[in-house]
Chain A
Amino acid sequence: MKKIVWLKVFVFAACLTPLLYLSWALLQDALGANPIEELTRRSGEWTLRFLMITLCMTPVQKLFKQSWPIKLRRMLGLFTFFYASLHLLTYVWLDQFFAWGDILRDIIKRPFILVGMLAFLLLVPLAITSNQRMMRKLGRYWKRLHQLVYLIGGLGVLHFFWLVKKDLTMPTVYLLILVVLLGFRMILVWQRRLSYRRKSAVVQSPV
């Protein structure tokens, strides 16, 4: 088998370990006195971690001139969606037990829940259009659409900031990671513009 296939199998298995651990911990009653709260918190943290890892792929590819990060990006993105779904399901099912009225009230009244829901909703079209066929079908709009992930990253971190009672350490850590990752992309865009301008300047100069 080709190297990249092995890598993909390995990464796939690695991405499943948080799920396996959380399921095991839940069954073993190892999540403390309030397992539902703990499960909600941890699935949320894993969502953010996967989102950050996914956003790392492009910078890693550019910096190390490797192609594997881009080949893993879709899988990582889909795992982000997977853990986000798990997080939402924990809230809707285990925490609220489908009390739709209360859930709706939560969305309207609690900004952190509104922002979290919005981030999840924006993830849905990205997950749906992640396959080759949709990529081809959407053409140049695909990239535009998938740039939504930057907004989702911001909303995800904001969701974390607003839900914390007082200790902002962890949300700040995620914010810094996000700033670095998005900053890298801004530098890329800025460089491209610069080199484009230089080229056009060369063309315009009389021979």
Chain B
Amino acid sequence: MLIKTKNDIAISEITDESVYLKRREFMKVSAGLALAPLLGMPLDSQAAINDYAKLNFSKNTKFAIDEKLTPYKDVTTYNNFYEFGTSKSDPSEEAYRLKTSPWSVSIEGEVEKPGTYTLEDILRPHPLQERIYRFRCVEGWSMVIPWVGFPLGDLIKRFQPTSRARYVEFTTLERPAEMIGQNRSILNWPYVEGLRIDEAMHPLTIMAVGLYGRALPNQNGAPMRLVVPWKYGFKNSKSIVKIRFIEKQPVSTWMQAVPSEYGFYSNVNPQVAHPRWSQQRERRIGEFLKRKTLMFNGYSDQVAQLYSGMDLRKYF
């Protein structure tokens, strides 16, 4: 008797071996996708580094530090940017709404060339460089971030500040439809910060437009933000739309909110405690044990002379 067998699986239906071998990976990924919403992890928010445009820049070695960089993922998902919400994960989850193009910056106050400039006009003359800086948050954590930007001083010179320009005030965008954290009056929007003119002109102070060699993600202050590495993080204004030159010391948003806790200078200083956090130590993101906080965040050699003769307890 002949037993008839029928080969009913077409060659095209046979799973390719390479795919077959990846079945575990597939299951892991799909399980992850299924679980993610349950665990409150958004799927699309943590955009990959490749989503951001590559920048042309040179490496600055003068201020280079030999410390391990904080991973890109941590730099771009652990942020304080109250315009998008008060939790650390809010900015990376909510900042996609922000439209950074077109963008203009208004230059006001004690300058010879005030006016509203497009972002392109602001950036065009400045060659970009990479600056690897320590970043210290007032809350007691720190990172090492490879910024891409240019010295703020070079930008300021173009507008020719007058002799009365003793301070520079920076204003962040206020657009509650796109910055959903601004729908609640946690802080007095828009966010305002300031520097003394010599701090602003200091070669360490940069205007950053990127990090890790690519354009800034919105949650890190796109399209243009301040980086002042010897001050606490909140002094580094993000998504800047206005730069005003003034004679009197400006009142920053945090000074206005809690005057006893936040001063104008806000230099990193392990000797001066914040009522909420001792500033003697900090946790470098990715490390287990805390490390000692350095005076001026380790930039004493460059900036200490800016404050000679000043009582830093009084001018905290």
Contacts and interface: CB of A to CB of B under 8 A. Distances in A.
A103 B73 CA distance: 31
A34 B289 contact: no
Contacts of B88: 32-34
Contacts of A96: 290
B93 to A, nearest CB: 12
A97 B141 contact: no
Given A97-B289, A167-B86, A167-B186, A34 B78 contact: yes
A34 B276 CA distance: 18
Contacts of B141: 34, 37
Contacts of A167: 82, 86, 186
B119 to A, nearest CB: 29
Interface in A68-99: 94-97, 99
A33 B285 contact: yes
Contacts of B202: none
Interface residues of B, number: 30
A106 B139 CA distance: 14
Interface string B262-277: 0000000000010111
A46 interface: no
A167 B288 CA distance: 28
Contact of B278 (A25, A37, A109, A163): A109
Contacts of A166: 82, 86, 186-187, 257-258
A105 B277 CA distance: 11
B237 interface: no
A112 B261 CA distance: 15
B236 interface: no
Interface residues on A, range: 20 to 34
A111 B280 CA distance: 18
A163 B283 CA distance: 18
Contacts of A112: 276
A120 to B, nearest CB: 19
A109 B288 CA distance: 24
Interface in B274-316: 275-278, 280-281, 283, 285-286, 288-290
Interface string B70-94: 1001100110001000101100000
Contacts, number: 58
A163 B261 CA distance: 13
Contacts of B283: 34, 36-37, 95
Contacts of A34: 78, 88, 141, 283, 285
B77 A105 contact: no
Given A166-B187, A167-B186, A33 B74 contact: yes
Contact of B276 (A25, A30, A37, A163): A163
B177 interface: no
A159 to B, nearest CB: 12
Nearest to B257: A166
A97 B277 CA distance: 16
Interface string A99-126: 1001001100111100000000000000
A30 B73 CA distance: 12
From A97, A102, A165, residue with most partner B Cβ within 10 Å: A165
Interface string A156-170: 000000010111000
28 contacts: A25-B39, A30-B39, A33-B73, A33-B88, A33-B285, A34-B88, A34-B283, A34-B285, A37-B283, A94-B288, A95-B283, A96-B290, A97-B290, A99-B290, A105-B278, A106-B278, A109-B273, A109-B275, A109-B278, A112-B276, A165-B86, A166-B82, A166-B86, A166-B186, A166-B187, A166-B257, A166-B258, A167-B82
Interface of A: 25, 30, 32-34, 36-37, 94-97, 99, 102, 105-106, 109-112, 163, 165-167
The 3 closest A-B pairs by CB, nearest first: A33-B78, A33-B74, A167-B86
Given A32-B88, A110-B277, 14 more contacts: A25-B39, A33-B73, A33-B77, A33-B88, A34-B285, A37-B283, A95-B283, A96-B290, A97-B288, A111-B275, A163-B276, A165-B86, A166-B86, A166-B187
